[in-house]
Amino acid sequence: MLLVVDVGNTNIVFAVHDGKEWLGTWRIATTANRTSDEYAATLFLLMEKQNIPVTQITKAIIGTVVPPVLYQLLLLCRQWFGVEPIVASATLDWGFDILINNPQEVGVDRLLNGLAAHQLYGGPLIVVDLGTATTFDMIDQDGNYCGGIIAPGLTLSLEALHSAAARLPRIGIGRPQSVVGKETIGAMKSGIYWGYIGLIEGIIKRIQDEYSQPLTVVGTGGLAPLLAEGTPVFKKINPELTLEGLRMLAKRNLLKNTKSKT
C-alpha cells in the first residue's frame, strides 16, 4: 500500500491507496513544530479506525509547500513505517516538460495538479486551485506545464479585510443570497464571493485569449465546489487532484527505479 502525504499551508492530508482505490483520507492542521511521534500517534489511530494495517504500508510519497515540516515527515516514514519516501520535486520524472524560466521555483502542488488533470481530463487545460492561495496553471495539449498565475486566496483576503479595517467583523465564507448586500456582513460576503468569481472568470478569459484556443477548466481545492456554484467556467471539479497527482508521480518514479535496478 502507498502512503500519500500532501502538505499545504493550512492542512496536511494523509491518504492510503492500495493500488485500486483510496482506503482512507485524513486531514490535520499544518503545524511546523509537530514531531514524527505525534504524526504517528494521530495517523495510527486514524488508520486503525478504518481497519488499515500499518504493516501493509510498503511505499510513501510526500509533497510539500511548507519546507519546515518535511524533516519530521521523513522521520515518520522511516521510523514508524520503515519506508524511504519519495519527495516530490522538479527533479523527478514527471513525464512532461516544465516550460518556465526556473523549474525549481514552481510549487510541487501545481505540478501535481497539472499531472493529474492532464491524465484524467486531457488537454489543453487550466487548473484553478482554490486554497490558501488561488492559483491558475496552464497545461498544454501534451501535458507540459506552461506557467501560471498566483493570487491571494479567498480566506486570506477575508482575514486581511477584517484585520485592516477596524469596524469590519470576521465572517464565514458562503454564497450570498443577493449581489447587493443590505448590511455590512452581507456586503462583505458579496464582495468576497462575487469578487472571486469575477477574478476567476476574468483571468480565465485572458488566458484563453492569450492562447487563442478553448481550454478545459478544472477546479480543485477545498473551496472549488462552493465557487463552482457561482460560475459556469468550471468543466470539472476534483477537490483531491493533488492527491491523485502524488499517486501518479509515485507510480511513475517507483516503476522507473524498479527498472533501473534490474
Residues at the annotated binding site for ATP?
6-13, 132
Q: Find where cell 470576521 sits.
A: 170
Give the DSSP H/E element, type plus range, for residue 101.
none
CA atoms within 13 A on the CB side of 252: 16
Cα 193 to Cα 2: distance, rounded to the nearest angstrom: 37
Integer angstrom CA distances of residue 86 from 83, 98, 120, 206, 246: 9, 19, 22, 37, 10
C-alpha cell at 224: 472549488
C-alpha cell at 122: 486531457
Q: Find the farthest-apart pair of alpha carbons in the chain and give their distance in angstroms, rounded.
A: 69
CA atoms within 13 A on the CB side of 242: 29
Which residue, 1, 3, 7, is CA-closest to 242? 7
Q: Three-class SS of residue 102? A: coil
Going by the annotation, the residues of the binding site for K(+) are 129
Cα 99 to Cα 223: distance, rounded to the nearest angstrom: 28
Residues annotated as part of the active site: 109
C-alpha cell at 226: 462552493
